[in-house]
């Protein structure tokens, strides 16, 4: 197993507010391994951005430990920040400077030569528009400039907080391709996003958080794991249910002659029903997506309900909120 690039243990952040102390992050754990494109998922206000800000030294943790490349954060940040590119929340640049001026200032602060600025501008497709004032940029162009800023340092870890916010479909696809390309080039990427279909397409692993704590974490394959079901349509659903349950399979549904059988092996379904003399009209494998997993976990966390029925192989790092 590859080395962890990001390692967070028991992270907690409390704010002193008028209504007493408010907990933004509560004993959160997160591990991102080298070469992963890691999705960091959670509903609004779940503590994603706060966690990222603490990891980057913009906010102080109340408790817990953080490490980047095996070095403690924030103590070792000056030595390792050169390997970390990050966009936190919305892009933040000086509005009266041009895109190029904004990048030049950042580049000079870490001794990056001007040609690298040109290369970053070229990479994100802002060539020809970099001379315009930042305040005249569209949201998509601002996002691109923020991504260009992260590329100035030739990062080994890229942290992107909602990188596709405000982008049009082609922009989203470009960012997706860029992230995929960076992942293939060996750059570790931690990406927080609401667009779960996006995450599922580009991420190799994910951590789902709710109310500031980790709800589940693992590779995307692990999270989706045994969540494949078979949807069968039969003329005699009652007889089919009886036969399938007798064979030890879990069956739900039953409306419109359709049953949902929890198994990733369709052959088991056809064999059992064939032996029972029930003939299939239709059999469709149904795969749960990350969105379903996310909603199951976060709804249970939000409602304080019972432990959600996750796929058996999906690792759960902490118990959902009671």
Partner 1 sequence: MIRLVGVELTRLRWRRAVLILVALGVALTAVVFVGVVVDSRSRTIEQVAADNGPQVLEEVARCVDHPRQYGQPKDAEDLQTRCEDTILGYYGVNELNLREQREAGSGPALVALLAVILLLAGTTFVGHDWNTGSMSNQLLFEPRRLRVWAAKAVAVTAVTGTLTVLVLAAYWTGLWAFASARGAPIGEHAVEAAYKQVVLGTAFVAGAALLGYALTMLLRTTVGSLGLLLGTAFLGIVVVWTGWGGAESLMPWTNFVAFVVGGYDYYTSGSCNGYDCESLTHHIGRADSSVYFAVVLLVVVAASMLSFRRRDVP
Structure tokens at 221: 């394959």
Residue 248 interacts with partner 1 (CB under 8 A): yes or no:
no
Integer-rounded Cα Rg, in Å, for the chain is 24
Rounded to 5 degrees, φ, ψ at 287 are -105, 130
- Shortest Cβ 83–partner 1 spacing (Å): 12
Largest CA distance in the chain: 76
Task: Say if residue 303 is exposed, middle or buried (CB neighbours under 10 Å; 0-12, 13-18, 19+).
Answer: exposed
How many Å apart are CA 271 and CA 277, to the nearest integer?
A: 10
Selection from 187, 159, 163 nearest residue 175 by Cα: 163
Question: Which one of the spans 94-102, 120-128, 182-190, 268-276 is the region binding partner 1 (CB under 8 A)?
Answer: 94-102
How many Å apart are CA 219 and CA 263, to the nearest integer?
A: 20
∠ CA 316-317-322 to the nearest 5 degrees? 85
Residue 86 interacts with partner 1 (CB under 8 A): yes or no:
yes
Residue 169 interacts with partner 1 (CB under 8 A): yes or no:
no
Q: Which is nearer to partner 1, 34 or 97 (CB)?
A: 97
* Other CB atoms within 10 A of residue 169 CB: 8
Structure tokens at 178: 């860029």
Q: Which is nearer to partner 1, 40 or 134 (CB)?
A: 134
Selection from 64, 66, 88 nearest residue 77 by Cα: 66
How many Å apart are CA 258 and CA 280, to the nearest integer?
A: 10
Q: Which is nearer to partner 1, 53 or 241 (CB)?
A: 53
Q: Which is nearer to partner 1, 97 or 125 (CB)?
A: 97
Residue 95 interacts with partner 1 (CB under 8 A): yes or no:
yes
Residue 125 interacts with partner 1 (CB under 8 A): yes or no:
no
- Shortest Cβ 220–partner 1 spacing (Å): 28
Locus of tokens 């340092």: 153
Residue 60 interacts with partner 1 (CB under 8 A): yes or no:
yes
Residue 110 interacts with partner 1 (CB under 8 A): yes or no:
yes
Q: Which is nearer to partner 1, 96 or 284 (CB)?
A: 96
Q: Which is nearer to partner 1, 84 or 215 (CB)?
A: 84
- Shortest Cβ 74–partner 1 spacing (Å): 7
Residue of the chain from 27, 33, 83, 101 that contacts partner 1 (CB under 8 A): 101
Q: Which is nearer to partner 1, 150 or 164 (CB)?
A: 150
98 within 8 A of 132, measured Cβ to Cβ: yes
Residue 166 interacts with partner 1 (CB under 8 A): yes or no:
no
Site for partner 1 in 179-208 (CB under 8 A): none
- Shortest Cβ 97–partner 1 spacing (Å): 6
The contact mask relative to partner 1 for 146-165 (x = CB under 8 A, - = no) is ---x---x------------
Sheet holding 250-253, edge to edge: 250-253, 258-262, 228-233, 282-287
| Residue 308 per-residue DSSP state | P
Strand-pair partners of 214: 209
Residue of the chain from 28, 41, 56, 182 that contacts partner 1 (CB under 8 A): 56
Q: Which residues contact partner 1 (rule: CB under 8 A)?
A: 53, 56-60, 74, 77-78, 81, 84, 86, 88, 90, 92-97, 101-102, 104-106, 108-111, 149, 153
């Amino acid at each position: 197993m590859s080395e962890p690039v990001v390692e967070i243990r028991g992270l907690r952040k409390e704010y002193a507010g008028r209504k007493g102390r408010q907990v933004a992050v509560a004993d959160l754990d997160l591990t991102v391994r080298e070469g992963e494109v890691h999705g960091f998922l959670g509903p609004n206000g779940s503590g994603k951005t706060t966690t990222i800000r603490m990891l980057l030294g913009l906010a102080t943790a109340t408790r817990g430990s953080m490490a980047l490349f095996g070095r403690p954060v924030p103590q070792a940040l000056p030595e390792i920040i050169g390997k970390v590119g990050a966009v936190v929340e919305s892009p933040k640049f000086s509005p009266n400077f041009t895109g190029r001026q904004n990048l030049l200032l950042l580049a000079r602060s870490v001794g990056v030569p001007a040609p690298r600025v040109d290369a970053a501008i070229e990479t994100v497709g802002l060539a020809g528009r970099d001379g315009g004032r930042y305040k005249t940029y569209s949201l998509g162009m601002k996002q691109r400039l923020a991504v260009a800023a992260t590329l100035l340092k030739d990062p080994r870890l890229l942290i992107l907080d909602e990188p596709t916010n405000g982008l049009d479909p082609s922009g989203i696809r470009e960012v997706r391709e860029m992230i995929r390309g960076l992942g293939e080039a060996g750059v570790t990427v931690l990406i927080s996003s609401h667009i779960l279909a996006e995450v599922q397409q580009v991420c190799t692993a994910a951590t789902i958080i709710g109310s500031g704590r980790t709800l589940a974490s693992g590779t995307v394959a692990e999270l989706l794991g045994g969540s494949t079901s078979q949807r069968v349509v039969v003329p005699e659903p009652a007889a089919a249910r009886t036969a399938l349950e007798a064979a030890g399979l879990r069956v739900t549904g039953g409306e419109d002659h359709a049953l949902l059988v929890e198994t990733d092996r369709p052959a088991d379904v056809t064999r059992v029903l064939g032996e029972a003399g029930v003939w299939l009209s239709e059999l469709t494998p149904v795969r749960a997506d990350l969105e379903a997993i996310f909603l199951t976990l976060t709804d249970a966390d939000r409602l304080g309900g019972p432990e959600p029925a996750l796929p058996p192989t999906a690792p759960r790092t902490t118990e959902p909120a009671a």
